[in-house]
Amino acid sequence: MSARIPLRKRLLVRLLIASGLIAVCSVAATAWLAVETTTRALREEQGQVLADDMDVLARLSGYAATHPDWSGVRDTVRELSAKTGRRIALTTADRTPIADSAPRGTALPVSAAATVDPLRVDTYSERGAQLGGTDPRAVGPYRLTEAERTKVEGLARARQRCFARHGIDLTMTRTPSGRPVLTGADGSGDRAYVPDECADGLFNTPTPTERKALAALEKLAGDCLVRAGLDPAVPLFLGVDSTPAARGVSDPPTFAKADADVRRAARPCLDRARRAQLDPYVAPAAHLFLGGGGDAPAVRFDMSAANKAKVVGAAGLVLAVTVAVTAVVATRLVRPLRALTEAARQPPERHVRVPVTTRDETGILAAAFNALTERRERLEVQRRAMVSDIAHELRTPLTNIRGWLEVTRDGVVDPDPALLAALHDEALVLQRVIDDLRDLADADAGTLRLHREPVRCDELLDQVAAAHRVAADAAGVVLRTTVEGEPWLDADRVRMRQALGNLVSNALRHTPADGTVTLAARPDGDDVLLEVTDTGTGIAPGDLPHVFDRFWRAEKSRSRRTGGSGLGLPIVRHLVAAHGGTAVARSEPGAGSVFTLRLPGASPR
């Protein structure tokens, strides 16, 4: 057959031509892109140097804000120098060395790059700096003790829970002093609505450490306040800032009750007094000198003759490798196509399969061809298994109905209400088995219809519990629900009630009187976990892997009235899988069982 194909139309030849053209275009495009990206990289490198300088300044300012001197800064300087590849030196105002990443005796640059002073930070270039010009990590006497930190965090969690009870979710973060702040879901704490129950004023009340520091601050600012025309005898009602604007800062003082005029007049005095208050706790101001990574000249792009030769050599190598690889790939590509053609010509009853030797499109085609035969065989096996299962499950109720009808016809028993009730129960068993088989057939065929919508888990659990409350009371079993947070499901409400109802019915059948069956829901990342827990007899370890198999029951001798049809749990598994979730079971004999459904979560409507 291959001899009748013209040379120019053979797949191997066409692949070689196409790969050669692609290789030439690729080399040309790569050369052009190299010139453009190299030029752009040289420009961007300057911007990166500025960003590195800002990071170095921020790191050293943070060190100064948390240490009273520079005695241990050498390790930090060496680390920053190794990270940036640049020389970093710190000196006093008279250029006395404090720490230097360069060898001793190396001359300093002509001028300092910046001044490291945590009490006078550039609020425009320094990230997180306060408006007063103080480094946010300078805490000083405002640092809470361990006991105060524990108490304030407890108050924060209490307020967080209080807001949560009113439908407002808050997140707690900590400032350098140890005081937590609460923020809303959008990162803002400007809440126009504060529930009366939560407005107790305890959380924003300064601790003894903060009161002591604020009193000292007001005392230091006394002379300045007098010069500003304020009466020093009038208290300023200073407090601590626990709003989200204070995140990452050292709890700057705020005016709890002072009017606007007093605030404007007192703020400059407080800023100067705060610097004086923090001065013993921070390192003294130092000059920062930054140098290059060495004396080597900057790398510049040069399209010289040598570089051109390199480009041409690389292009030739790319062409050679491309042609060789294409030849190998094309040979392997043609071989399975020929095998597939021969197999397609065989009679269908022979169920011929072709070997899958590749994972590309031809391999997928060969796998799809093989799947046709496997699908036919599997459908036949499933059809036989379904007929056998249906016959197995329908034989008992049909036999009972036939037997009672025959003895009634022969006059052995009278058709009293008890007999009619028994026949009705057997008919219900038949109906339940048929409905379960229909659901399983839809799931196997992939035609199970779902009407997805956001579903509140608490409402779903309440509906399932209400539907089984009578059965639970009749069995003497306590049926309860628990929900953590407000999880929502992206699910079909009716199908989820069916799945949870099967689990609850199964749990009620296996839980003795005075037992408990619990329906629970809780979020787990982007998913939601639904759990049905019982205090029943449990499942043996050897039986646990089979609980989701259809027509399986742990006690083979148990009647279907107490043991079920063996289809409830398989239906649960199929319904959960149709939602893109999973169903697992764990149990301990004598202690009960837990069935967990993991399903995709949804955003509240």
The torsion of the CA quartet 244, 246, 251, 257, rounded to 10 degrees, works out to -70
Q: What is the pLDDT of residue 215?
A: 84
Architecture field, domain 449-600: 2-Layer Sandwich (3.30)
Between CA 85 and CA 100 the distance in angstroms is 13
In this prediction, residue 356 has a pLDDT band, given cuts at 50, 70 and 90, of confident
Q: Rounded mean pLDDT of 540-554? A: 71
- Which residues are CB-neighbours of 187 under 8 A, at least 6 positions away? 244
Between CA 562 and CA 551 the distance in angstroms is 14
Ranges 41-55, 300-314, 472-486, 581-595: which has the least confidence: 300-314
Q: Where are the domains of the chain?
A: 1-118+284-345, 140-186+199-281, 361-425, 449-600
Between CA 247 and CA 241 the distance in angstroms is 9
Contact 146, 326 (CB under 8 A): no
Q: Rounded mean pLDDT of 254-281? A: 75
In this prediction, residue 295 has a pLDDT band, given cuts at 50, 70 and 90, of very low
Contact 179, 152 (CB under 8 A): yes
The mean predicted confidence, pLDDT, of the chain is 76
Q: Hey, what are 423's tokens?
A: 């026949």
Q: Rounded mean pLDDT of 423-447? A: 67
Q: Rounded mean pLDDT of 199-228? A: 82
Q: Hey, what are 401's tokens?
A: 């109905």
Q: What is the pLDDT of residue 264?
A: 75
Q: Hey, what are 29's tokens?
A: 């495009």
Among candidate residues 522, 508, 509, 540, the one with its CA nearest the CA of residue 597:
522
In this prediction, residue 294 has a pLDDT band, given cuts at 50, 70 and 90, of very low
Q: Give per-residue pLDDT as tens, 15-68.
A: 777 777 777 777 777 777 676 677 666 666 656 677 778 888 888 888 888 888
**Rg of the chain on CA atoms, in Å:** 39
Q: What is the pLDDT of residue 267?
A: 79
Q: Is the pLDDT reported for residue 600 higher than 60?
A: yes
Q: Give per-residue pLDDT as tens, 96-131.
A: 888 888 888 888 888 888 888 888 876 444 454 444
Q: Beta-strand (E) ranges in 333-483?
A: 452-456, 478-483
The torsion of the CA quartet 319, 320, 323, 328, rounded to 10 degrees, works out to -140
In this prediction, residue 521 has a pLDDT band, given cuts at 50, 70 and 90, of very high
Q: Rounded mean pLDDT of 405-412? A: 80
Contacts from 178-181 at CB under 8 Å and sequence distance 24+? 178/143, 178/144, 178/148, 178/149, 178/152, 179/144, 179/149, 179/152, 179/210, 179/240, 179/242, 179/251, 180/152, 180/153, 180/156, 180/242, 181/156, 181/242, 181/243, 181/244, 181/246, 181/247
CATH of 361-425, one of 1.10.10, 3.40.190, 1.20.120, 1.10.287: 1.10.287
Give a three-class secondary structure readout of 553-601: CCCCCCCHHHHCCCCHHHHHHHHHHHCCCEEEEEEECCCEEEEEEEEEE
Between CA 118 and CA 279 the distance in angstroms is 9
Q: What is the pLDDT of residue 300?
A: 47
Q: Rounded mean pLDDT of 548-574? A: 61
Burial class for 522, CB neighbours closer than 10 Å (0-12, 13-18, 19+): middle
Q: Which residue, chain included where needed, has tokens 């000059």?
A: 287
- Residue 392: CB atoms within 10 Å: 11
Q: Which residue, chain included where needed, has tokens 């300088």?
A: 53
Between CA 360 and CA 217 the distance in angstroms is 74
Q: Hey, what are 346's tokens?
A: 């065989």
Ranges 4-8, 187-191, 486-490: which has the least confidence: 187-191
Between CA 22 and CA 515 the distance in angstroms is 73
Q: What is the pLDDT of residue 297?
A: 41
In this prediction, residue 349 has a pLDDT band, given cuts at 50, 70 and 90, of low
Q: Give per-residue pLDDT as tens, 144-198.
A: 999 999 998 888 888 888 888 888 888 888 888 888 888 876 655 545 567 878 8
Between CA 127 and CA 122 the distance in angstroms is 9
- Residue 44: CB atoms within 10 Å: 11
